[in-house]
Amino acid sequence: MSRISVLQEAREVQLAVALIELGARLQFLEAEVNLSRERLVRLYKEIKGTSPPKGLLPFSVDWYMTWMANIHASMFHNIYTHMLAHADGRLDALIRAFRMYREQVQANGDQEVLDFTRAATLVKFFENDMLHVVQCTRCTGRFVGHAYENRPDYVCVLCRPPARAGKKKRPEGGPA
């Protein structure tokens, strides 16, 4: 093997490790990293201590429209679009944006709503014109919305949360 291919393979392994640590699924790794499936499976098992999960990747733009998912997806997408200008390509921007999203959520003491797979799928939906950004008429924030949906009077989920938003379930046996 030449020195260049050894360095290239080392970069691909580093990329795969970073993506696995963030929670990338095997299907995503196969599409984005230039390593064999067998090598990726071995790396996954070594890093996570378990076999990669099986099953289909999520494929519904509607998931991003529920109120909490929309808030997190919008936050992530805004970070991602900013990172695109400062990263070495789409994949680097995705990695940086997801790390920053995770830091912001943890800093606020919130729970992550997006996992890496949902974040990567969100980016794909935007790239394929299935989703777009819509601006709130009240706060002027930029939120994830359905593509080609004409919403001139759009009010975001932060300015107009659903009636039950943020309400916790009562503990069993607690006061009514």
Three-state SS at 136 = coil
- Same domain? For 70 and 33 the reply is no
- For residue 104, the surrounding DSSP H or E stretch is helix 90-107
The answer to whether 144 touches 122, Cβ cutoff 8 Å, is: yes
Distance CA 116, CA 54 (A): 16
Residue 1 has pLDDT above 50, yes or no: yes
Judge if 71 and 109 occupy the same domain: yes
For tokens 């260049």, the residue is: 4
The rounded mean pLDDT for the chain is 89
Domain match, 15 and 90 both:
no
- Output b/e per residue, 27-41; b: 16+ Cβ within 10 A: ebbeebbebeeeebb
| Shared domain check, 105 and 69 | yes
As to burial, measured by CB atoms within 10 angstroms (0-12 exposed, 13-18 middle, 19+ buried), residue 98 is buried
What is the rounded average pLDDT of the residues 87-101?
A: 95
**Domain span at residue 74?**
61-146
Q: What is the mean pLDDT of residues 65-80?
A: 96
Segment 116-135 mean pLDDT: 95
pLDDT digits (tens, 9 = 90+) for 133-165: 999 999 999 999 999 888 889 999 999 988 876
| pLDDT at residue 50, rounded to an integer | 92
Question: pTM for the full model?
Answer: 0.85
The 10s digit of each residue's pLDDT in 30-39 is 999 999 999 9
